[in-house]
Amino acid sequence: MHEVFQSQPSDVFVASFMKSGTTWLKALAFAVMHRDKYTLSSHPLLKLNPHDCVPIIEHHYATRDEQYLETLPSPRVLGTHVSYSMLPDSIKASTNKIVYICREPKDVLVSLWHMVTKFEWFNKPFPFAKAFELFCEGRMPYGPVWDHVLEYYTKSIHNPEKIMILKYEEMSKDPIDSVVRMANFIGCPFSEDEIKNGVVEKIVELCSFNKLKDLDVNKNGAGNVPNNYFFRKAVVGDWQNYMTPEMAHKLDEITKEKLSDSTFTY
């Protein structure tokens, strides 16, 4: 993928560590970027999982159907969980935009654990304590969560025109503000008329958890994963229902230590 993926200057990438709000941001980025193409009453997001509207580039390379990405109309909205340092050079070199979403690690872990326990190939119980241990050690498919966010954050400081950082918790508190800022960043700001006509609110509603979670679950989302695997509870701080105070303290201490050389905070 590294050598062959060709980014276009108009591409917008939704980048994230798993379970940080990827599905939500993909829906919002797609809806914002393509708002002139679709009416809200016949919008693809009324029928399709956001992962089917915004393909994840590494899956298409892994399954060797990378040409599919070339067939998408421009401007493309594409997704990736790959760390910044592992991104294809053409993405780094182009004038495209990257919107990165991060989430507080304790909630990421809880969300990830729930997803993993759903997979049939995990035919034996996967205790939360085991997931906790692996997560704390950074033994995750895309590496340690802290390294992931710090790479994108550091790059965003040096190149704020290219990378924007959004936080799941901020988006939950004020989705309108996040969507307006993202639209400005990706170069398709809302006009005064659109603001007056409530277009931002309508997009936020279209992409809300309650709307997306009710998509027909018989249709498959990304990579044949059932739609409902991407929508669980969407509650900030749900970790409190799964972690002992000792676990939370340990993970908070690791997070503090990992971020100690940076100005980044969750």
Among 232, 248, 259, 264, binds ligand PPS (CB under 6 A): 232
Q: Please give the backbone phi and psi of residue 224, each rounded to the nearest 5 degrees, phi first.
A: 65, 25
CA-angle at 221, arms to 116 and 180, nearest 5°: 100
Taking CB under 6 A as the criterion, which residues in 210-229 touch ligand PPS?
Answer: 212
* Contact criterion met (CB below 8 Å) for 212 and 190: no
Please, what is the minimum distance in Å from the beta carbon of residue 209 to ligand PPS?
Answer: 4
Q: Does 230 bind ligand PPS (CB under 6 A)?
A: yes
Count of residues touching ligand PPS (by CB under 6 A): 21
**Of these residues, 81, 114, 148, 249, which one is catalytic?**
81
Closer CB to ligand PPS, 94 or 229, in the complex: 229
Q: Does 135 bind ligand PPS (CB under 6 A)?
A: no
Please, what is the minimum distance in Å from the beta carbon of residue 20 to ligand PPS?
Answer: 5
Q: Which residues are registered as beta bridge partners of 101?
A: 16, 166
Among 8, 94, 154, 208, binds ligand PPS (CB under 6 A): 208
81 is catalytic: yes
Q: Does 255 bind ligand PPS (CB under 6 A)?
A: no
Other beta carbons within 10 angstroms of residue 10's beta carbon come to 15
Q: CA 5, 9, 11, 12 torsion: positive or negative?
A: positive
- The encoded tokens of residue 93 equal 């070199």
d(CA 175, CA 168): 9
Closer CB to ligand PPS, 7 or 22, in the complex: 22
Please give the sequence-ordered ranges of beta strands (E in DSSP) within 58-132, or none if there are none.
Answer: 77-80, 97-102
* Sheet order of strands, 12-16 included: 77-80, 12-16, 97-102, 163-167
Q: Does 162 bind ligand PPS (CB under 6 A)?
A: no
Taking CB under 6 A as the criterion, which residues in 68-127 touch ligand PPS?
Answer: 107, 111, 114
* Contact criterion met (CB below 8 Å) for 89 and 179: no
Chain-centroid distance of CA 246 in Å reads 29
Which element (helix H / strand E) includes 13? strand 12-16
Start-to-end CA distance of the chain, whole Å, equals 31
Q: Does 23 bind ligand PPS (CB under 6 A)?
A: yes
Where does this chain touch ligand PPS (CB under 6 A) — which range of 4-12, 122-130, 133-141, 206-214?
A: 206-214
Q: Does 178 bind ligand PPS (CB under 6 A)?
A: no
d(CA 266, CA 171): 12
Among 11, 19, 48, 140, binds ligand PPS (CB under 6 A): 19
Where does this chain touch ligand PPS (CB under 6 A) — which range of 65-73, 117-125, 143-151, 204-212?
A: 204-212
Among 234, 243, 251, 254, binds ligand PPS (CB under 6 A): 234
Among 31, 91, 140, 207, binds ligand PPS (CB under 6 A): 207
Interface residues with ligand PPS (CB under 6 A) are 16, 18-24, 107, 111, 114, 207-209, 212, 230-234, 238
Catalytic residues: 81
